[in-house]
């Protein structure tokens, strides 16, 4: 799997019992699917299991984008978009 900056290294999640995002309301996170389980599905040679990874990850990613868009829209309506953008970027990239 690749990102704009090269391959994704998921080995650090091999035994993780953390869910993707504690504050997320997507079905993947609400089902308490762990990062370790997602990694196992992603690495699986079984097509059904690897397809399940893409389904679960896509559900989470789409909900993340929808929520971000909702928050950005509200910030625009509230005339606070600049502050929202700076806050989001500082928070999102603090550990990256």
Residues 41, 56: contact at Cβ < 8 Å? yes
Digit-coded pLDDT (tens) for 20-76: 888 999 999 999 999 999 999 988 999 999 999 999 999 999 999 999 999 999 999
Q: What is the mean pLDDT of residues 77-87?
A: 97
Whether residue 3 is predicted with pLDDT greater than 60 in this model: the reply is no
- Total-model pTM: 0.79
Whole-number pLDDT of residue 19: 86
Whole-number pLDDT of residue 5: 47
């Amino acid at each position: 799997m690749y990102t704009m900056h090269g391959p994704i290294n998921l080995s650090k999640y091999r035994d993780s019992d953390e869910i993707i995002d504690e504050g997320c309301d997507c079905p993947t996170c609400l089902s308490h699917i762990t990062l370790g389980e997602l990694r196992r599905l992603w690495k699986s040679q079984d097509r059904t299991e690897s397809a399940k990874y893409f389904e679960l990850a896509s559900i989470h990613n789409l909900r993340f984008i929808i929520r971000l868009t909702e928050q950005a829209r509200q910030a625009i309506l509230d005339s606070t978009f600049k502050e929202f953008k700076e806050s989001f970027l500082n928070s999102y990239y603090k550990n990256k």
